């Protein structure tokens, strides 16, 4: 592990404990810049800045850089506070309209952090029973929310995004937690068929929020990270969410049931690696969390996982090349589920299957014969991203990253 990654994890661990680092040795200007750049890539800049700004080493840092990062931190924290306030108001509004919103991830996870608004969320996830969608949609409109994609077939979609003009609030409204038509993870929904029946309630800033029960929520956080791992990767923030949740609700979690579910989807080594990262770097105490020996005895090398997630950025979007590499990893998982082998190749990257493209090009659901048009549109879009991102987006680099990540899937027993 390089020095910047080591400092980053030390500061992050201190933040999760509500502490600050006490670095004595001065850092070079480029090291401070690299540290904050890494924090920004993982959407944890406020947490890192709060942990480091008062340490002796920071007194020797470039004052202009520190002021810039301080300003970015304050803006992010204030924006997050506004989002949280809007979300809580929206939840009250939906409940008054007869909707039963179940808030997952963001606001629930933020409540576990020493400084909740330092844990930044790009969007808020709300799960509703599918039969409540029409009522919920009308209530969302009445609150001032607008569909982010007016052309989307909202009745058919498993997830409908909404924004609010003049507000930072962005909602992903879920009828299902995972896209049912995904070959790689659409079947994960079966584990949450009774999620609404097992829901519980927490209080955030004085407002009651309905959320998943502890066991369902813990397993969902693992599955959500796993889903992104199957794409182009996920960042350290999701590990923080998982270990903080386990630390807070561990005594209420059915660890044995979660392990059985993880084994069923071949995510047991994956999940064990995340907990080991939490134990080694982030202050997670498995014994205090009630984590049984069956979990702790899983032999796993967390190093490759840690290297991958640190280089991925939040949700694997560190580079366009990395994002496009997901075509290879998802194809590998889908092929493995069908009992077939898969090999990375350029054709699969440029010409994915119809099903793989339906999310971006919904017309393929009813007009499958337009698949060549979708391929052409995708290549044009890819070329446009290449012009904007330059060397950040190359087909050869996507193939290299994708091939390496397919081997990582094999290493953790996800595919054969």
Q: Give domain status of residue 232, yes or no.
A: yes
- Report the number of distinct structural domains present in the chain: 3
Q: Give domain status of residue 347, yes or no.
A: yes
Enclosing domain of residue 381: 319-411
Query: Both 338 and 259 in a single domain?
Result: no
Query: Both 294 and 385 in a single domain?
Result: no
Q: Are 395 and 322 in contact (CB under 8 A)?
A: no
Query: Both 337 and 299 in a single domain?
Result: no
pTM comes to 0.88
Cα–Cα distance list, 209 to 16, 94, 202, 357 (Å): 23, 11, 5, 35
Q: Which of 32, 61, 90 is at the close of a domain?
A: 61
- The reported pLDDT for the residue numbered 338 is 75
Query: Both 354 and 378 in a single domain?
Result: yes
Q: Is 160 helix (H, G, I), strand (E, B) or coil?
A: strand
pLDDT in tens, 1-23: 899 999 999 999 999 999 999 99
Contacts of 63-68 with C-beta under 8 Å, sequence gap 24+, read 65/29, 65/32, 65/33, 65/36, 66/32
pLDDT in tens, 336-391: 877 766 554 445 555 667 776 776 777 887 788 878 887 777 666 655 655 554 54
pLDDT in tens, 383-414: 565 555 454 556 677 778 888 888 999 999 99
Query: Both 371 and 303 in a single domain?
Result: no
Query: Both 312 and 351 in a single domain?
Result: no
Query: Both 345 and 381 in a single domain?
Result: yes
Q: Give domain status of residue 94, yes or no.
A: no
Q: Give domain status of residue 132, yes or no.
A: no
Q: How far apart, in whole angstroms, are the C-alpha atoms of residue 295 and residue 386?
A: 43
Query: Both 313 and 323 in a single domain?
Result: no
Q: Are 97 and 139 in contact (CB under 8 A)?
A: yes
Q: Per the structure block, which two tokens stand in for 49?
A: 């800045």
């Amino acid at each position: 592990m390089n020095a910047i990654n080591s400092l980053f994890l030390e500061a992050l661990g201190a933040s999760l404990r509500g502490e600050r680092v006490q670095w004595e040795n001065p850092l070079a200007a480029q090291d401070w810049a690299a540290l904050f750049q890494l924090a920004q890539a993982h959407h944890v800049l406020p947490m890192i800045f709060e942990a480091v700004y008062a340490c002796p080493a920071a007194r020797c840092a470039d004052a202009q850089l520190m002021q810039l990062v301080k300003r970015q931190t304050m803006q992010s924290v204030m924006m997050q506070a506004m989002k949280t306030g809007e979300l809580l108001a929206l939840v009250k509004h939906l409940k008054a309209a007869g909707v039963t919103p179940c808030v997952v991830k963001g606001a629930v996870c933020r409540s576990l952090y020493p400084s909740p608004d330092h844990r930044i969320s790009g969007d808020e996830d709300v799960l509703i029973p599918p039969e409540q969608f029409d009522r919920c949609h009308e209530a969302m409109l009445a609150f001032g929310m607008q569909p982010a994609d007016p052309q989307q077939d909202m009745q058919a979609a498993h997830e409908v995004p909404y924004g609010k003009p003049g507000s930072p609030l962005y909602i992903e409204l879920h009828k299902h937690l995972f896209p049912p038509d995904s070959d790689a993870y659409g079947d994960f929904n079966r584990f949450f068929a009774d999620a609404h029946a097992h829901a519980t309630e927490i209080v955030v800033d004085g407002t009651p929020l309905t959320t998943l029960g502890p066991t369902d929520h813990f397993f969902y956080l693992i599955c959500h990270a796993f889903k992104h791992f199957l794409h182009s990767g996920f960042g350290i923030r999701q590990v923080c969410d998982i270990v903080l949740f386990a630390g807070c609700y561990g005594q209420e979690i059915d660890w044995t049931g979660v392990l059985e579910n993880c084994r069923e989807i071949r995510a047991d080594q994956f999940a064990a690696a995340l907990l080991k990262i939490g134990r080694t770097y982030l202050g997670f105490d498995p014994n205090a969390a009630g984590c049984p020996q069956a979990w702790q005895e899983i032999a796993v090398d967390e190093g490759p996982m840690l290297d991958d997630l640190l280089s991925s950025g939040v949700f694997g979007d560190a580079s366009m090349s990395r994002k496009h590499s997901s075509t290879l990893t998802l194809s590998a998982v889908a092929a493995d589920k069908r009992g077939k082998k898969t090999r990375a190749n350029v054709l699969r990257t440029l010409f994915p299957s119809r099903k793989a493209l339906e999310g971006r090009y919904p017309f393929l659901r009813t007009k499958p014969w337009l698949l060549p048009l979708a391929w052409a549109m995708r290549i044009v879009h890819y070329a446009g991203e290449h012009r904007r991102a330059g060397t950040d987006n190359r087909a050869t680099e996507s193939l290299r990253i994708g091939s390496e990540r397919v081997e990582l899937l094999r290493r953790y027993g996800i595919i054969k």
